[in-house]
A and B are shown apart, each in its own frame.
Chain A
Amino acid sequence: MAEEDDILRLEAVRKAYNVATPIETEVLHGIDMALHRGEFAALIGPSGSGKSTLLHLIGLLERPTAGRILIAGREIDALDEAGMTELRGRTLGFVFQFHHLLPEFTALENVMMPTLIDQGRATRAMRERARWLLGKVGLADALDKKPSALSGGMQQRVAIARSLAMNPPLVLADEPTGNLDSHTADDIFALLREFNREEGSAFLIVTHDARLAAGCDRRIELMDGRILASPSAQA
């Protein structure tokens, strides 16, 4: 597979905390992995194995201690804070376990937020796309509701719609169904899958749920900061 088809590539990535102190701990011990454009992958592993840490590195929220990370072919080591900020905004979508919507804003405004951040001002097109996305996740009737007026499952749907606002080539989801009942979790997963097919975004989804993981193109298993197995679907 040609390298330019990879939306994500990690080479010998390490992450240690409290570097150069007596309590220095390395959490990730040399991660090599790649994700193709449009791939739908599950990141699995026991609690504490480093899944969230890996996602934060890929999400440019933290820098690795060693190794290379390329996103959409761009070496992130070469980027300054402004470059990272831009790449985060335009190339990546995030869904977090605790949905993290902005409580001051309505569902519609929350979904508009990534585009608003990118363009600086609200536009009609922005509003239309947000409306459409919320329709897709089944919340056409809840556009003007604040997060506090929505159930956990509904909030997570808003968060998913938001992660897709910029139509990013890579969406990172950290236990998006972690605190939802299994029925709602199935719905959410189906939604992610649908967006993956329709919009062509690649997904990297952290999950504990083996059943859900089984429905992905590929399972990457992490154990004690090392990747155990990651048979690529296309490999």
Chain B
Amino acid sequence: MPFEWILALRFLREGRMQTALIMAGTTVGVAVIIFISALMNGLQASLASRTLSTQAHVTVRVPDDAPTPVLARGDTGIIAAHIEPRVQRLRSIDQWEQVYRQVALLPHVVDVSPLTTGSGFAFRGNASKAIAIMGILPERYERIVRIGDKLTAGQFRVGPGEAVIGCELANDLGATVGDRIRILSSENRDDVFRITGVFDLGVKDLNRRWVIMAQRNAQSLLDLSGGVTHIDLTVDDIFAAESVATRIASLTGLTAESWMAVNTQLLTAFKNQTMTTRTVRVFLILIVALGIASVLVVSVVQKQREIGILRAMGTSPRRIMWVFLIQGGLVGASGALLGSGLAALMVYGASFALRQSDGSPLISGSIEPAYYLSAAAVAILTGLLAAVAPARRAAKMDPVEAIRYG
């Protein structure tokens, strides 16, 4: 083993209490950094997956009609008197099959599902409610929103003349599985549907308004023969949704909205969490660095005589410096190792202790190796950097000072 390492290791070993304390501090720091990152990621992933279990990652639709200026004749000629927002007509996507194929081939896109949707009313007895007509291809739509998993009654089956409705709507209409309801669309067409299932998506608005039916039924109700109004899709990386949406919009000229654009609050919450985690991490690193630096500074002062004697025996200032840099690096490295172990235990424990409302663990019991690696790199770097000032001080020490006043 090289001389510098022998000295660094021995100084650490013989510095028992100081070494133990600073290693404990570094260990806890590293563990908390890893744990907090894992916790935040778990939290975000679970929040995101819960939110995204009831909506597409990206929805493609026809752009809104542009508002039209209403013209008026004045003294100076024709001017725009005011801008009148248009009543949005129900329109299907032009050549939707082509768009569908184009979108399906884009990178990140996993599942694609065409929808025909519009508004209308549901009637049963004296009760009537405003609804959203959701015409789907069940086997495709199932991959976007897992309706089958959210049923409170009946089954997810939308054959001709069958509908699956939200639990709030069922309640409002006093209807259950097997009952019939009449549906009148905004296009003034109506038909009778038998309820085959009732779902609870965990979102009140959807539970109150959604009536899911076969696409063909929706098309005839909405007078959009063969037409599709929306294309829903999922992506493999939920945080790539916005860029996928942008890509689709520029490719097709249609409006494409990602879940991020729809759920701005959630996204803001994520960003704030990430900021908080980052801030905590920076402060932890600072504290660990200050701890290592202060212990090493004390050690340099304590070893003044020994440094002097080592210099007198032919050790260059540079090598003295390395002895202390290595100590800092070693403290960081051991903190990284022990801290990773501690973090693994904490995360394992937390996977039992911290549960979501549905009883599933908030974070999974294991952490991605990348977390350990980055935490380890940060710890070693922190140790080295923290040691720079003490090491330079040691290297600059006047040997005569130490020897003369021994």
A residues touching B (Cβ–Cβ < 8 Å)? 52, 56, 59, 61-62, 81-82, 85-86, 88-90, 94, 96-98, 100, 102-105, 113-114, 116-118, 120-122, 162
How long is the Cα–Cα vector from A82 to B54 in the complex, in angstroms? Answer: 72
How long is the Cα–Cα vector from A97 to B2 in the complex, in angstroms? Answer: 30
How long is the Cα–Cα vector from A144 to B396 in the complex, in angstroms? Answer: 32
B404 adjacent to chain A (CB < 8 Å): yes
With both chains docked as a complex, state the minimum distance between the C-beta of A156 and any C-beta of chain B, in angstroms: 13
B310 adjacent to chain A (CB < 8 Å): yes
Q: In the complex, what residues of A have CB within 8 A of residue B406's CB?
A: 96-98, 100
B72 adjacent to chain A (CB < 8 Å): no
How long is the Cα–Cα vector from A78 to B11 in the complex, in angstroms? Answer: 35
Q: Contacts A61-B400, A62-B400, A104-B11 hold; do A94 and B312 have CB atoms under 8 A apart? A: yes
Contact of B403 with A96 in the complex, beta carbons under 8 Å: yes
Contact of A89 with B400 in the complex, beta carbons under 8 Å: no
- In the complex formed, the residue of B with least CB distance to A116 is B3
B188-196, B231-239, B314-322: which lies at the A interface? B314-322
Q: In the complex, what residues of A have CB within 8 A of residue B14's CB?
A: 103-104
Q: Contacts A104-B10, A105-B10, A120-B3 hold; do A52 and B404 have CB atoms under 8 A apart? A: yes
Contact of A102 with B309 in the complex, beta carbons under 8 Å: yes
21 contacts between A and B (CB under 8 A): A52-B404, A56-B404, A61-B312, A61-B400, A81-B317, A85-B315, A89-B314, A96-B406, A98-B406, A100-B403, A102-B306, A103-B14, A104-B10, A104-B11, A105-B10, A114-B313, A117-B310, A118-B314, A120-B2, A120-B3, A121-B1
How long is the Cα–Cα vector from A117 to B2 in the complex, in angstroms? Answer: 9
- In the complex formed, the residue of A with least CB distance to B404 is A52
Most chain B CB atoms below 10 A, which of A61, A90, A116, A162: A61
Contact of A86 with B314 in the complex, beta carbons under 8 Å: yes
Q: In the complex, what residues of A have CB within 8 A of residue B317's CB?
A: 81
With both chains docked as a complex, state the minimum distance between the C-beta of A12 and any C-beta of chain B, in angstroms: 22
Q: A52-B404, A61-B399, A104-B10 are in contact. List 7 more A-B contacts (CB 8 A).
A: A56-B404, A89-B313, A89-B315, A94-B313, A102-B306, A117-B315, A121-B3
How long is the Cα–Cα vector from A202 to B45 in the complex, in angstroms? Answer: 77
How long is the Cα–Cα vector from A85 to B59 in the complex, in angstroms? Answer: 73
B61 adjacent to chain A (CB < 8 Å): no
How long is the Cα–Cα vector from A114 to B313 in the complex, in angstroms? Answer: 6
- In the complex formed, the residue of A with least CB distance to B11 is A104
Q: Contacts A61-B311, A61-B312, A85-B314 hold; do A121 and B2 have CB atoms under 8 A apart? A: yes
With both chains docked as a complex, state the minimum distance between the C-beta of A116 and any C-beta of chain B, in angstroms: 5
Contact of A116 with B6 in the complex, beta carbons under 8 Å: yes
Q: In the complex, what residues of B have CB within 8 A of residue A61's CB?
A: 311-312, 399-400, 403
How long is the Cα–Cα vector from A59 to B306 in the complex, in angstroms? Answer: 16
The 7 closest A-B CB pairs, nearest first, are A89-B314, A98-B406, A104-B14, A100-B309, A85-B316, A88-B314, A104-B10
- In the complex formed, the residue of B with least CB distance to A119 is B3
How long is the Cα–Cα vector from A106 to B169 in the complex, in angstroms? Answer: 85
- In the complex formed, the residue of B with least CB distance to A174 is B403
Which of chain B's residues 197-247 have a Cβ closer than 8 Å to chain A? none
Contact of A100 with B305 in the complex, beta carbons under 8 Å: yes
Contact of A117 with B403 in the complex, beta carbons under 8 Å: no
Mask for B136-164, Cβ within 8 A of A = 1, else 0? 00000000000000000000000000000
How long is the Cα–Cα vector from A81 to B317 in the complex, in angstroms? Answer: 9
- In the complex formed, the residue of B with least CB distance to A82 is B316
Q: How large is the interface on B (under 10, 10 to 19, 20 to 34, 35 or more residues)?
A: 20 to 34
How long is the Cα–Cα vector from A98 to B403 in the complex, in angstroms? Answer: 8
With both chains docked as a complex, state the minimum distance between the C-beta of B369 and any C-beta of chain A, in angstroms: 35
Q: In the complex, what residues of B have CB within 8 A of residue A116's CB?
A: 3, 6
Contact of A122 with B6 in the complex, beta carbons under 8 Å: yes
Q: In the complex, what residues of B have CB within 8 A of residue A62's CB?
A: 400
How long is the Cα–Cα vector from A114 to B6 in the complex, in angstroms? Answer: 13
With both chains docked as a complex, state the minimum distance between the C-beta of B154 and any C-beta of chain A, in angstroms: 78
- In the complex formed, the residue of A with least CB distance to B306 is A102
- In the complex formed, the residue of B with least CB distance to A146 is B14
- In the complex formed, the residue of A with least CB distance to B406 is A98
Mask for B281-312, Cβ within 8 A of A = 1, else 0? 00000000000000000000000011011111
How long is the Cα–Cα vector from A52 to B402 in the complex, in angstroms? Answer: 13
How long is the Cα–Cα vector from A97 to B315 in the complex, in angstroms? Answer: 20
Contact of A56 with B10 in the complex, beta carbons under 8 Å: no
With both chains docked as a complex, state the minimum distance between the C-beta of A120 and any C-beta of chain B, in angstroms: 5
- In the complex formed, the residue of A with least CB distance to B308 is A100
Q: In the complex, what residues of A have CB within 8 A of residue B403's CB?
A: 56, 61, 96, 100
Q: In the complex, what residues of A have CB within 8 A of residue B308's CB?
A: 100
Q: In the complex, what residues of B have CB within 8 A of residue A162's CB?
A: 313
Q: In the complex, what residues of B have CB within 8 A of residue A52's CB?
A: 404
- In the complex formed, the residue of B with least CB distance to A96 is B403
With both chains docked as a complex, state the minimum distance between the C-beta of B396 and any C-beta of chain A, in angstroms: 12
Q: In the complex, what residues of B have CB within 8 A of residue A96's CB?
A: 309, 403, 406
- In the complex formed, the residue of A with least CB distance to B305 is A100
How long is the Cα–Cα vector from A98 to B305 in the complex, in angstroms? Answer: 10
How long is the Cα–Cα vector from A94 to B311 in the complex, in angstroms? Answer: 11
Q: In the complex, what residues of A have CB within 8 A of residue B311's CB?
A: 61, 85, 88
Q: In the complex, what residues of B have CB within 8 A of residue A85's CB?
A: 311, 314-316
Q: In the complex, what residues of B have CB within 8 A of residue A105's CB?
A: 10
Q: In the complex, what residues of B have CB within 8 A of residue A56's CB?
A: 400, 403-404
How long is the Cα–Cα vector from A81 to B400 in the complex, in angstroms? Answer: 15
Q: In the complex, what residues of B have CB within 8 A of residue A89's CB?
A: 313-315
Q: In the complex, what residues of A have CB within 8 A of residue B1's CB?
A: 121-122
Q: In the complex, what residues of A have CB within 8 A of residue B10's CB?
A: 104-105
- In the complex formed, the residue of B with least CB distance to A101 is B309
How long is the Cα–Cα vector from A94 to B314 in the complex, in angstroms? Answer: 11
- In the complex formed, the residue of A with least CB distance to B15 is A104
Which of chain B's residues 367-406 have a Cβ closer than 8 Å to chain A? 399-400, 403-404, 406
